[in-house]
Amino acid sequence: MSDSLKVTSRVSQVRISLNAGEMRVSVPAPRLGVSPKQNHLSVTERETVLHVASGGVRLSVQRPAVSSIRAVCSGPPGPPGPKGDPDTLITAAHDLGGHRALRVTGAGAAGYADAYTAFDAVLGISIHAATAGAPVAVRGSGEMVEPSWSWSPGPVYLGRDGMLTQTPPSGGATLEIGIARGPATLFIRIQQEIYDG
């Protein structure tokens, strides 16, 4: 039969166990060492055990159990990293033209978004043309330059079959795709669509 009594003090934790005529007193004595130069933290625990049995008293210190924990120490900030790629590759559901607004179809491929057809969301603008089944790169945000455009500064909207227009559609969803910053430059920032009543 094993009985156990646990006594806690402010300094340490003492554990007294009575087991088959032997009394065992355990006093854990943790030691904590921090080495900021080496960026690690060491925890060492030693346990002092006092064995009391009918044959006498024996005192022993058990081997230390050492754990090393790597701690992350913050240093000075580094240089800025490379610019992230705002483009996504997706498979074309059918032949697609370049620089058109695309959505994800039910099959998980890219098709044209249309202001006059219900859709879930616009994925972005195709960067190039693609044939059905081929990958197409889509830009969902940021700047896009296309020399064939001739925008006036101001908002650019979704039209029919993925076409972009500066005239808000009537009778469908008004969805601002981005802002024209110059004749050939569009800053893509897709907004929430507004449906005509």
Q: Is residue 79 part of a domain?
A: no
* Domain match, 95 and 185 both: yes
Same domain assignment for residues 66 and 98: no
pLDDT bracket for residue 116 (50, 70, 90): confident
Question: pLDDT, tens digit, for every residue of 25-83?
Answer: 555 554 444 444 444 444 444 455 555 555 555 545 454 444 444 445 567 888 887 77
Residue 99 shares a structural domain with residue 61: no
Same domain, 43 and 116: no
* Whether residue 65 sits in one domain with residue 119: no
User: Look-up: residue for tokens 């089944």?
Assistant: 133
Q: Whose structure tokens read 């006092």?
A: 50
Same domain assignment for residues 48 and 19: yes
Identify the domain containing residue 53 by its residue range.
2-70
Q: Are residues 52 and 139 in the same domain?
A: no
Which pLDDT score is estimated for 131? 96
- Number of structural domains the chain divides into: 2
Residues 46 and 92 in one domain: no
Summarised one tens digit per residue, pLDDT across range 30-41 is 444 444 444 444
C-alpha 167/C-alpha 111 separation (Å) is: 22
- 70, 99, 123 - which closes a domain: 70
**How far is Cα 90 from Cα 70, in angstroms, rounded to an integer?**
41
Indicate the pLDDT class of residue 150, thresholds 50, 70 and 90: very high
Q: What is the C-alpha to C-alpha distance for residues 4 and 6, in angstroms, rounded to an integer?
A: 7
Domain boundary among 70, 96, 126: 70
pLDDT of residue 194: 77
Q: Is residue 75 part of a domain?
A: no
- Residues 63 and 134 placed together within one structural domain of the fold: no
Which of 128, 148, 121, 142 minimizes the C-alpha distance to 188? 142
Does residue 56 share a domain with residue 111? Answer: no
pLDDT of residue 10: 38
Domain end position, chosen among 70, 103, 129: 70
Domain with residue 52: its CATH number is 2.20.25
Residues 66 and 114 in one domain: no
On whether both 153 and 125 belong to a single domain, the answer is: yes
Between CA 31 and CA 171 the distance in angstroms is: 74
